[in-house]
């Protein structure tokens, strides 16, 4: 498997999703709740209108408005609170699979840098 993927994966290639280097940026100030977490996104492939990629967030708490997606946590731990519509919070860690819906308002409390593989 390749160690660095500068863009999307080419057909017939692979990468270590847990070790792929990602470039972090600060989250928008209006999304910050606790701390100064950063995040990174790396699109791996676009299949039709569906994007597959990696997303990572460092420890802290931030709000988000979700898109339609399913994700699998590769590394790290977090608590996801569902603000609107209100649903029970969930704890996620390696192997967790979660479905999010377009427009859901959430608050993510990351306790260990969280990396997920998403399909959106």
The predicted-structure confidence for 66-76, as pLDDT tens digits, reads as follows 999 999 999 99
Q: What is the CATH number of domain 25-119?
A: 2.60.120.10
Give the list of residues 6+ apart from residue 86 with CB closer than 8 angstroms, or none: none
10-49 residue pLDDT tens: 899 888 999 999 999 999 999 999 999 999 999 999 999 9
103 within 8 A of 66, measured Cβ to Cβ: yes
Q: Which of 56, 60, 97, 103 is nearest to 82 (CA)?
A: 103
Instruction: Tell the burial category of 56 from Cβ atoms under 10 Å away from its Cβ (0-12, 13-18, 19+).
Output: buried
75-120 residue pLDDT tens: 999 999 999 999 999 999 999 999 999 999 999 999 999 999 999 9
Q: Enumerate the domain spans of the chain.
A: 25-119
């Amino acid at each position: 498997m390749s160690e660095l993927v500068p863009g999307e994966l080419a057909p017939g290639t692979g990468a270590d999703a847990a070790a792929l280097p990602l470039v972090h940026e600060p989250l928008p100030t209006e999304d910050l709740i606790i701390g100064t977490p950063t995040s990174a996104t790396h699109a791996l492939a676009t299949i039709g209108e569906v994007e597959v990629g990696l997303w990572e967030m460092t420890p802290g708490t931030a709000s988000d408005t979700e898109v339609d997606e399913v994700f699998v946590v590769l590394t790290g731990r977090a608590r996801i609170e569902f603000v609107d519509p209100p649903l029970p919070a969930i704890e996620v860690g390696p192997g967790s699979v979660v479905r999010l819906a377009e427009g859901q308002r959430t608050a993510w409390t990351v306790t260990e840098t969280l990396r997920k593989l998403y399909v959106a």
